[in-house]
Structure 1
Amino acid sequence: MIFFFGTRTGKKVTKQLVGVNCPHCHQTGSLTAISQTNFIHLFWIPIIPIGTSQFAECGHCKRGFYKEEFSQEMKKALQDYKSAAS
C-alpha cells in the first residue's frame, strides 16, 4: 500500500491593519497582515498543524515585515482582531 504524506500550507488569512502606521514609510492604513498554518497531511488531507507563519506587507512602500519585526502597534491590532473574532 502506498501512503502519500508530507507538509503543506493551509489557507491564507488576510487582515487589513486599519489605523496602524508602517514603521518604514509611516503611511497609515496601508499594512496587511497575512497568516498561514503549515500542516502534516496524509493523502492531501491536513491532519496536524505544525506551525503558523505570520508576516505583514505595506501596500504603499511594499516593505515586508516578519513576525519578529512587528511593532507594538501592529501586535496590538492583530491581538484586538483575534479577540474580536472569538
Structure 2
Amino acid sequence: MIFYGTNGTHLRTEALPGTACPTCGTSNALKASLCSRYAHIYWIPFFPYAKLAVVQCGACQATWENKTLPAEIAPAVRTLKQQTRQPYWAWAGLLLVASLSVGGTLYGIHDTHTDEALLAAPRAGDIYTVHADSADMYSLLKVRQVSGNGVELVANDYQTDNRHPLADLNEPDKYSQEPFVLTRLDLQIMRRQGKLTDVDRP
C-alpha cells in the first residue's frame, strides 16, 4: 500500500503596510500569513502545489482566507506571494527520484563500458550471462581458456528467469563437461544481438 497525501507548512507572516482594513478602515493593521501546500508519499515531500494566504486585522480581528480576500488587499497579498519562495525541502521527493534515476543511468553506462572492455580481452574464468532461446530465461557460459582468436567455453546446463543468474547457477557441477569454441567476433555479435547480456570476472 502506498501512503500518500497532502500537508502544509507555514512560510512567513508579514504586515501589509499602506493597506487599510476593508472592515474597520484602520491603516497598517493587516498581517498576512502564507502557507505552502505540498504533496507527499510516505511522508516524504514531493512537490509544492499551492500558496495559501490568511489575512487578519489586528484592530478588529476580521479575517479573510485565500479565496475570500477583498479586492482592496488582494494585490498586496499577490505581491507577497510572488516574493516568497517555496522551501527547497518541499521538492525532496522529486530530487530523490531524479538522483536515483541519474545514478542508475550512470551505473548502467559504467557497467556497459566495463562489460565491453572485459569482452574485448577475455580471460579464463570469465562468466558470460546469456539470454537463452526460451523466452525470458537466462543461463551462463564460462571461459575455460583463450587461445588467439578462439575462446573455449563450457555452457551451464541450467536456466533461470533471473536476469542476473550468477548466484543461482555458478556452481562447478552445473556446467557441461563438453567445451566448445567461439571466436571473439562471435561473442561481440552475441553482445550486439542482446544474447550476451553481462560479463563477470571473479
Q: CA RMSD in A?
A: 2.4
Unaligned runs of 5+ in 1: none
Q: How many positions carry a matched residue from both structures?
A: 84
Residue 23 of structure 1 corresponds to 22
Distance 1:80 1:22, change over 3 A: same
Give the percent of matched residue pairs that are identical in Structure 1 and Structure 2: 26
Q: Which has the larger Rg?
A: 2
Higher strand share: 1
TM-score scaled to structure 2, two decimals? Answer: 0.36
Q: Tell me the amino acid that sits aligned with residue 36 of structure 1.
A: C
Bigger mean CA offset, 52-61 vs 5-14 = 5-14
1:68 aligned to 2:67?
A: yes
Higher helix share: 2
Q: Tell me the amino acid that sits aligned with residue 29 of structure 2.
A: S
How far did residue 74 of structure 1 move? Answer: 1.2
Identify which of structures 1 and 2 has the higher relative contact order when contacts are C-alpha pairs closer than 8 Å and 6+ apart: 1
Q: Tell me the distance in 1 between the aligned counterparts of 2:75 and 2:23.
A: 18
Residue 102 of structure 2 corresponds to none
Q: Tell me the distance in 2 between the aligned counterparts of 1:38 and 1:81.
A: 16
Q: Tell me the distance in 2 between the aligned counterparts of 1:47 and 1:75.
A: 29
Q: Tell me the distance in 2 between the aligned counterparts of 1:52 and 1:36.
A: 6
Q: Tell me the distance in 2 between the aligned counterparts of 1:82 and 1:37.
A: 10
